[in-house]
């Protein structure tokens, strides 16, 4: 059956134009989007058949497996070519794949790389394609990817590189009534009726046209199954077996699955257009058809069919572990899961496919009690670390504690001590600072007794890092010892980390000295391929550059660091850098961009652990500047967390935010409490700019004498410049400050400066923006106003969460805050208030 393309000429023209540009050396990514059945695969087949001679075409597709294969579509595209990417993947993947992918597309002939069903891709594949998206502009290549709308969840890695300037999106829409009429010509169907039934979905249209006359399928699945029922029983049974295998099935596997039946049992299905046959195997014409048949099978039969696939795969010389785990999970074969999932998880983690690694370890951990103790502990250890990579810090700690307990019972002091090192880091990231310190100390004691020099260096380095982060005076001494141990053990990776954290803990260093140590650490890590350490280098460098007001350097650090961490899947480090990108916008006066970015980060993660102290206080600080009433409770909560965790960045961001709020609201009691809480930390290494900022706001709050010198040399952007004008005492400067603050939307500070001008007898104080433009009349934030409007439409919290791409928990919090601000006790009352004519007009 040939593909009939209607109303796709524009999309095809975009693809061919991209090829022409690539031939001229201007590469591009074309993203073909559309709902399931919209004709993405058909478009790509026609595009491929029409490519001019001389182009090289590489093709791969992702599959609907329980856990995707690391680099799956890229392996399929280049295996056997002998090119740079083929060789890098054959060598085990890893970081060399990024540059190998660029080299693969560099020549000598123009190349078209096609990847279908990207919504099922593994993380490593998405990272490589994201890397290419940022570099393809200078390559003679087109990267064509197809993705199902709604197939990838919010926050999926795909979203993170769609903004690259080389990416062009093509959206496939449903067919018009006219196009449906062309397809239905001579069938007896009325075009309008068929269009109403199928909503113009091309796949549904063709399936509906293929069923017996007189049948009216209500869904795509019904249409597919109606066609299946017209086949003989042997063909139906063969299709059922084929339907439990996502993607293409090679002929050797297919012959084993059909258990001696000849392949001609499937000829009728091919003739009906349900199957496609290629040189390398057989597959369904559309994944929707395969899924419809699989879903129609009774559960016990599906289980038996999956087990048949497991048996056939096991007879292969080198069975694919990912496929085995998929069928074992679907077929309820715990033994096969335990045999293959841990190794597949380690392979996925090494490739950077951390979502897939997590799924493998999760599958194995469910049956860990059936493993020998040492294997069980190793599975739990790997599972804990992948939970950490997924920002599920609370769960990571719980599983990490089980792993440590498992190792403790084995008598393997080295494995036990190293697990303690990892658990101490998990404790720190979840915000349990005291437990992190105690566990780090225990890891050092355990490994010193074990007599492993390299493992002891690892533990002492980790202990020194945690001491540096919480401001312990012994941090520098511990890190110096760790560096000596690392040098003797030949652990350059640990030397890098010691330099990193010595930049934070070293006493008496000036800003150049601290930043210089960090740059040395980062350069060493990049040179030796220690990429997680390099990611830590980028994040700590970004923090220092922001703290010292080196904004141009910060901008370069953020550009390099975000590309690096996103390419390699270091999402907690990327989170840190994204926060500082928002703070850079905030410092430069782009408050709307900063607020939107910080809100998105806060809503993206259900369990941010100690990372909440990066984004939440800064977001609340912006709310305070706009006069939002919820700012105070948010900042007070952040300050309590910061005092408990003792990290300098948490104390800095929560402390300065709460101090500013206290000044803006006239709460000298709160300002005094912040100053008291900060004093024990004020002489920590690198704390000078934080101390200067806190003292500046304490002075504005009337807690310090106005004549005290301000030691800060930080350029704080338009907001701080406006406040400095207001502090100067000159009347004209204060009037100019009001104007600048109004432009920024700094309602609270502008109110204070106006009040001061009036007290001084100035009669022509600028009035500022109208109240309607300053804030919601009920004091709601923009996000809360949006939630309230959906409440008024009758949506549930879950429906609101789906519509706004938020978590249900976040919507719950917004609704509770809305009820409080409106002074009502139920959603129904809030919705009624929003729908009232007076409020509808004002709100």
**CA neighbor of 424 nearest in space, from 454, 360, 390, 469:** 469
Tokens, residue 568 = 């390699």
**Can you list the domains of the chain with their CATH numbers?**
9-173 (3.40.50.300), 336-525+534-552 (1.25.40.10), 782-842 (1.10.10.10)
Candidates 724, 725, 767, 765; CA nearest to 747 is 767
Note whether 383 and 399 are within 8 A (CB). Answer: yes
Q: What is the DSSP letter of 231?
A: S
Place of tokens 């009429």: 181
* pLDDT for the residue 218: 80
Q: Each residue of 519-533: b (16+ CB within 10 Å) or e?
A: ebbbebbbeeebbeb
| Whole-number Å distance between alpha carbons of 460 and 421 | 9
Question: Which residues of the chain are under the pLDDT cut of 70?
Answer: 1-3, 150-165, 212-216, 260-261, 706-715, 768-775, 805, 809, 837-843
β 56-61/111-116 pair status:
parallel
Q: Which residues contact 16 (CB under 8 A, 6 or more apart)?
A: 47, 50
* pTM (2 d.p.): 0.80
Quick check: 431 and 641 in contact, CB under 8 A? yes
Which pLDDT belongs to residue 210?
84
Query: Cα–Cα distance between 397 and 732 in angstroms, integer?
Result: 57
Using CA atoms, how far apart are residues 329 and 285, in angstroms rounded to an integer? Answer: 25
What does the alpha-carbon distance between residue 826 and residue 829 come to, in Å, rounded to a whole number? 5
The dihedral region occupied by 391, where left means phi > 0, alpha psi between -120 and 50, and beta the remainder, is left
HEC per residue, 691-704: HHHHHHHHHHCCCC
To the nearest 10 degrees (0 to 180), the angle between helices 433-450 and 453-469 is: 160
Q: Hey, what are 107's tokens?
A: 């020549």
First-residue to last-residue Cα distance in the chain: 57
Token pair for 838: 């007076």
Distance CA 594, CA 449 (A): 50
Contacts of 224 (CB under 8 A, 6+ apart): 207, 274, 288, 289, 292, 293
- State residue 523's pLDDT score: 97
* Interval 146-171: pLDDT, tens: 999 866 554 556 666 565 567 899 99
The answer to whether 684 touches 506, Cβ cutoff 8 Å, is no
pLDDT of residue 711: 47
**Can you give 333-352 as a three-state secondary structure string?**
CHHHHHHHHHHHHHHHHHHC
The token duo for 825 is: 């006790």
Structure tokens, 210: 């293929």
Beta bridge partners of 661: none
Q: For residue 721, count CB atoms less than 10 angstroms from its CB and return exposed for 0-12, middle for 13-18, buried for 19 or more.
A: middle
Return contacts of 591-598, CB within 8 angstroms, 24+ apart: 591/622, 591/625, 591/626, 591/744, 591/745, 594/618, 594/622, 595/619, 595/622, 598/622
> At CA 486, angle to CA 484 and CA 489, rounded to 5?
110
pLDDT for 166 equals 74
CA distances to 130, 415, 516, 629, 695 from 654, rounded to whole Å, are 34, 38, 27, 17, 14
């Amino acid at each position: 059956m040939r593909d009939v393309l209607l109303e796709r000429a524009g999309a095809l023209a975009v693809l061919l134009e991209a090829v022409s540009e690539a031939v001229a050396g201007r590469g591009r990514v074309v993203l073909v989007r559309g709902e399931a059945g919209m004709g993405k695969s058909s478009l790509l087949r026609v595009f491929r058949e029409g490519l001019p001679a001389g182009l090289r075409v590489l093709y791969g597709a992702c599959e609907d497996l329980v856990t995707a294969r690391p680099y799956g579509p890229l392996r399929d595209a280049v295996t056997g070519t002998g090119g740079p990417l083929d060789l890098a993947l054959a060598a085990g993947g890893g970081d060399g794949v990024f540059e190998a992918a660029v080299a693969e597309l560099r020549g000598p002939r123009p190349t078209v790389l096609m990847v279908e069903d990207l919504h099922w891709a593994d993380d490593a594949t998405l990272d490589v394609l994201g890397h290419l998206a940022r570099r393809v502009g200078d390559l003679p290549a087109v990267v064509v990817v197809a993705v199902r709308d709604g197939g990838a969840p919010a926050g999926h890695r795909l979203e993170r590189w769609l903004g690259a300037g080389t990416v062009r999106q093509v959206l496939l829409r449903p067919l018009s009534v006219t196009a449906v009429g062309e397809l239905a010509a001579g069938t007896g169907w009325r075009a309008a009726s068929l269009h109403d039934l199928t909503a113009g979905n091309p796949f549904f249209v063709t399936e509906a046209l293929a069923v017996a006359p007189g049948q009216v399928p209500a869904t795509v699945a019904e249409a597919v199954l109606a066609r299946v029922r017209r086949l003989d029983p042997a063909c139906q049974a063969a299709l059922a077996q084929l339907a439990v295998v996502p993607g293409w099935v090679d002929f050797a596997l297919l012959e084993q699955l059909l258990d001696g039946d000849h392949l001609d049992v499937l000829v009728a299905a091919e003739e009906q257009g349900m199957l496609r046959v290629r040189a390398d195997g057989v597959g369904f014409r559309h994944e929707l058809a395969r899924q419809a048949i699989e879903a129609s099978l009774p559960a016990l039969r599906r289980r038996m069919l999956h087990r048949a696939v497991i048996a056939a795969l096991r007879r292969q010389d080198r069975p694919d572990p990912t496929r085995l785990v998929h069928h074992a999970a679907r077929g309820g074969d715990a033994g096969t899961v335990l045999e293959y999932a841990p190794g597949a998880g380690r392979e996925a983690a090494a490739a950077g496919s951390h979502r897939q690694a997590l799924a493998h370890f999760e599958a194995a951990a469910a049956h860990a009690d059936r493993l020998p103790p040492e294997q069980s502990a190793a599975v739990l250890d790997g599972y804990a670390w992948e939970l950490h990579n997924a920002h599920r810090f609370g769960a990571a700690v719980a599983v990490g504690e089980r792993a440590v307990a498992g190792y403790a019972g084995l008598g393997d002091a080295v494995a036990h001590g190293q697990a303690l090192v990892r658990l101490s880091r998990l404790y720190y990231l979840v915000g349990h600072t005291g437990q992190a310190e105690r566990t780090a100390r225990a890891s050092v004691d355990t490994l010193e007794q074990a007599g492993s020099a390299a493992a002891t260096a690892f533990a002492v380095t980790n202990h020194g890092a945690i001491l540096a982060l919480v401001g312990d005076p012994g941090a520098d001494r511990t890190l110096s010892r760790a560096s000596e141990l690392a040098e003797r053990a030949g652990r350059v990776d640990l030397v890098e980390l010691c330099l990193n954290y010595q930049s934070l803990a070293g006493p008496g260093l000036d800003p150049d000295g601290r930043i210089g140590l960090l740059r040395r650490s980062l350069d060493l890590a990049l040179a030796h391929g220690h990429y997680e350490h390099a990611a830590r280098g980028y994040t700590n460098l970004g923090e220092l550059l922001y703290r010292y007001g080196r904004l141009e350097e910060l901008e370069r650090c953020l550009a390099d660091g975000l590309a690096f961490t996103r390419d390699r899947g270091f999402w907690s480090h990327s989170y840190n850098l994204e926060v500082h990108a928002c703070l850079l916008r905030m410092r430069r006066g782009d408050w709307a961009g900063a607020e939107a970015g910080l809100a998105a980060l806060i809503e993206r993660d259900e369990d941010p652990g100690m990372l909440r102290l990066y984004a939440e206080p800064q977001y609340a600080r912006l709310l305070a500047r706009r006069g939002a009433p919820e700012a105070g409770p948010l900042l007070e909560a952040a300050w309590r967390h910061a005092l408990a965790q003792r990290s300098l960045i948490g104390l800095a961001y929560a402390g300065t935010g709460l101090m500013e709020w206290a000044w803006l609201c006239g709460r000298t009691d709160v300002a005094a409490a912040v100053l008291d809480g900060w004093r024990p930390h004020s002489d920590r290494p690198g704390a000078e700019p934080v101390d200067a900022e806190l003292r500046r706001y304490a002075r504005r709050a009337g807690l310090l004498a106005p004549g005290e010198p301000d030691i800060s040399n930080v350029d704080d952007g338009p907001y701080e410049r406006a406040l400095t004008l207001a502090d100067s005492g000159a009347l004209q400067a204060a009037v100019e400050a009001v104007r600048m603050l109004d432009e920024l939307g700094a309602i609270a500070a502008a109110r204070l400066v106006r009040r001061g001008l009036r007290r001084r007898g100035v009669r022509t104080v600028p009035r500022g923006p109208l109240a309607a433009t300053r804030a919601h009349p009920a004091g709601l934030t923009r996000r809360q106003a949006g939630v309230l409007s959906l409440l008024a439409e009758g949506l549930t919290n879950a429906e609101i969460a789906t519509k706004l791409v938020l978590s249900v928990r976040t919507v719950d919090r917004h609704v509770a805050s809305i009820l409080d601000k409106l002074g009502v006790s139920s959603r129904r009352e809030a919705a009624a208030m929003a729908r009232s004519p007076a409020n509808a007009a004002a709100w």
